[in-house]
A and B are shown apart, each in its own frame.
Chain A
């Protein structure tokens, strides 16, 4: 009973201390859903305990799941092949370049990501598969919901950079991200309007002409 009360207390304190609410909209004032929002601060450092965290990336039904995986630097991602076929996962650009064949029934493959940035992945066998791993120098990140809303927990008060990122977000200058500096705490959710819109997100579906794949 006391333990439960303490947990509740702790949860409440955390929540009350550092829940940063952000709502992201695009240039047309439409909510941007599924975009990565993270906060950085010069004071914020990643703790080693964070590095122990492992995030799973599935290859399921010939698609990367999730499409975007966000990890903090030095954390590990684990590739799990849920399909009954072999995938050849690679990344040929960005901070982490790799290439491996992931046969069916093979054990998961783990990978520690030591370099910051977007790791665009593909499958050399299934051209349509597309996935991203965003390696961030901060543990304060989240993804917006359907309303473009996200809560970043534990972000220390003071001036912070809030960055919005998505591989299909096209901001002037052909970059995929935009940053704002805001002072925390804020009384109400911070509304951020991106100077661009979201492009078409790859569907990771086999084109019609390879429908035969469904049978194996």
Chain B
């Protein structure tokens, strides 16, 4: 939980921006710190270098100046004729005075004259140069042999002269008679003492001093800018001078000036690094404290920047949540910056785009793209509220007939145009509350309220609307529609209404009616079909199926020697169900063979039962195309007659015209085998299929049954009469007997009799009835079987 909180905290933009700025600021300060530090270091080292090189120059200048002074002055003094004159006069006392006069002129600490023979003929030493009253005394080497050997280069070399504990810088010049005769040497010296060291110290601000180091490495400080010889950092100086070990806390300089009496004289200067850098350190400290002071300040600034950057985003987040709730009307406004205003504009634009797209999607969701009519969603959205408000809603389910044929023959473009046209015409009609297109060729007209008495008038108008030919390019189409109508009943919902309309529509279609108003009765037969699916298997296996028999009366003799077995389903719940309902189900669900086997087996049993009772009736059994295609079944039916020892000629197998058309060759082969076996064969529902006369000629059938659709209205339709008459003629010519179905009156029967139609079947003769009822009918009606007669 804690890590998750941390994670979400770290992933916040504000945190990230803040972090970014903090890192940036730290980096900048680090760089600035580094640069300052480096600059300082550079400045330090430059300052130290400067100090050192200045010190070196100062020393050299000071020291060389003294040498130059001494040298130049010795030259001048040696050239002075006054001195030479003394030699001419031989006045030694005057010579010393003259020498001292010269010494005073340059405030030399020592003046010395050496004869050509090397005798110190004058040595004057100033005891204390600081004390103005100090006396000049004869040096301890007066009248002694000079300790050093002169040569011609004497005056040019860097000469140090030691007298007792004092070391002098000394320069000599030759005193000559003429040019090439040297009388002697005149020299002047400056003491290397604390005064010199002090001067160097004042000029360089470095501690300065001089020390002698003998061959045994013993050091003697002879001058120092510090008090006397009390050099505070003597060890450091000595280490550096003697062993060249530099203490890093000090800046050190040394120079070997020369040797005197086998001892090396060193000049040294030094300063404690810290002393030089003290001011720099102070600046450095200020800088550092400034940086430290800036740090929290920068952090606060970074925090505010991060917050001000993310504030518009937070506003946007709030705005987005607001929009997500469906509030599209708000104007987004965040901050004053151009970027944020643009973002806000984009946000507003997006909001509008969402609105428009949502409207489009909503429209598409509730509308059909082809016709732009409402679709099922639209229907639901509109009608469900009506139902809720208990309006007397009426639904028209309209099917455009033969649209599949149009698609196949004229193409989908024409099909679509037809669909659009129908939609247009429906939309143009007045009084319709809602026009929808449900699917391919199905439309729904919804009325919020449509009294029953207005229905016929509306249907009239609907017909009138659809009546005009529709011309698409050069094609003239007659728009035909079938209508299923359902109206609101208490407790129904839209789905029920649509299903009822659908049922009505199907009913209308199968009965070739232009429209059908839903009736509970239609529903019984139709809707149940779906539920019957599962029940059918149990029906076949159990005792729910029953055969009804309808007589096929011989017209000429008014006798019955044959009946058609028709299957009925005694549904335990739904009651008696006709074959129109469940045979298609059986066909679709692969149960037709089982059904046919039951029927045929039952027919044989009935035949045998009647046989026992002394009734001899041939039984016709309906077989479907499926049965014909099933080899097992075709053999089984042969085996059954043998197994039950019944004459095949007692059984007529009725096959619909369509069953033959499907696969004529296979059908003919099967029929030939059956024919050979002895079965009577009959073509059922003749005239509804599309069999050719060639096929009819080839079929090994005995009988032809004219479909009842030709017979029902036979007396009212001349064309039916032509068809029936010619069919009978044709059948007779082919050697077939003819059965007319659907005879409902005597006139029709008479008409057929006159045309020599062999058999009649229909309500006029008898409805299909159970076996026992048929027996009674046979007994009461005087219809006797042919065989019974014979």
Contact = CB atoms under 8 A, between A and B. Distances in A.
Nearest to B176: A122
A129 interface: yes
A94 B177 contact: yes
Contacts of B181: 93-94, 118, 120, 132, 167
A70 interface: no
Q: Which 9 A-B pairs have the closest CB atoms?
A: A120-B181, A122-B178, A130-B179, A92-B177, A92-B84, A202-B179, A130-B178, A120-B177, A97-B88
A4 to B, nearest CB: 46
8 contacts: A91-B88, A92-B84, A94-B177, A120-B178, A120-B180, A124-B81, A128-B179, A131-B178
A8 interface: no
Interface string B757-772: 0000000000000000
Interface residues of B, number: 15
Interface residues of A, number: 24
Given A93-B116, A127-B79, A122 B88 contact: no
A99 B90 CA distance: 13
Given A92-B84, A97-B87, A99-B88, A122 B116 contact: no
Nearest to B85: A99
B636 to A, nearest CB: 159
Interface in A124-179: 124, 127-132, 167-168
Given A124-B81, A127-B79, A92 B87 contact: yes
Interface string B167-186: 00000000011111101000
A98 interface: yes
B76 to A, nearest CB: 12
Interface string B374-415: 000000000000000000000000000000000000000000
A92 B183 contact: yes
Q: In this complex, which of B90, B176, B178, B179 has the most chain A Cβ atoms within 10 angstroms of its Cβ?
A: B178
Contacts of A168: 180
Contacts of A128: 179
B87 to A, nearest CB: 4
A39 interface: no
Nearest to B88: A97
B179 A127 contact: yes
Interface string B86-126: 01101000000000000000000000000010000000000
Interface string A100-122: 00000000000000000010111
A92 B180 contact: no
Nearest to A124: B81
Contacts of B179: 122, 127-130, 202, 204
A118 B87 CA distance: 16
Contacts of A99: 85, 88
A120 to B, nearest CB: 3
Interface in B29-70: none
A124 to B, nearest CB: 5
Contacts of B183: 92-93
A88 B180 CA distance: 17
Contacts of A88: 81
Contacts of A93: 87, 116, 177, 181, 183
A197 to B, nearest CB: 15
B180 A202 contact: yes
Nearest to A199: B180
A98 B116 CA distance: 19
Given A99-B88, A124-B84, A204-B179, 14 more contacts: A88-B81, A92-B84, A92-B85, A92-B87, A93-B116, A93-B181, A97-B88, A99-B85, A120-B180, A121-B177, A124-B81, A127-B79, A130-B178, A132-B181
A98 B88 contact: yes
Given A97-B87, A97-B88, A98-B88, A91 B81 contact: no
In this complex, the member of A90, A118, A127 whose beta carbon has the largest number of chain B beta carbons within 10 angstroms is A90
B178 A121 contact: yes
A93 B183 CA distance: 6
Contacts of A94: 177, 181
A91 B90 CA distance: 12
B175 to A, nearest CB: 8
A125 to B, nearest CB: 9
A25 B176 CA distance: 29
Contacts of A124: 81, 84
Contacts of A97: 87-88, 90
Interface string A62-89: 0000000000000000000000000010
B180 A91 contact: no
B74 to A, nearest CB: 16
Nearest to B183: A93
Interface in B138-183: 176-181, 183
Interface in B258-302: none
A126 to B, nearest CB: 10
Contacts of A167: 180-181
A129 B177 CA distance: 10
Contacts of A120: 176-178, 180-181
Nearest to B178: A122
Residue among A92, A129, A131, A168 having the largest count of chain B Cβ atoms under 10 Å: A92
A144 B116 CA distance: 29
A131 to B, nearest CB: 7
A204 B179 CA distance: 9
Contacts of A132: 178, 181
A122 B176 CA distance: 9
Contacts of B116: 93
A39 B604 CA distance: 197
Contacts of B176: 120, 122
B88 A90 contact: yes
B99 to A, nearest CB: 15
A98 B177 CA distance: 11
Contacts of A130: 178-180
Nearest to B90: A97
A132 B179 CA distance: 10
Contacts of A202: 178-180
Contacts of A204: 179
A122 B79 contact: no
B88 A129 contact: no
A99 B81 CA distance: 10
B180 A90 contact: no
A124 B180 CA distance: 14
B118 to A, nearest CB: 11
A98 B84 CA distance: 11
Interface centre among B81, B87, B179 (most CB of A within 10 A): B179
A4 B328 CA distance: 163
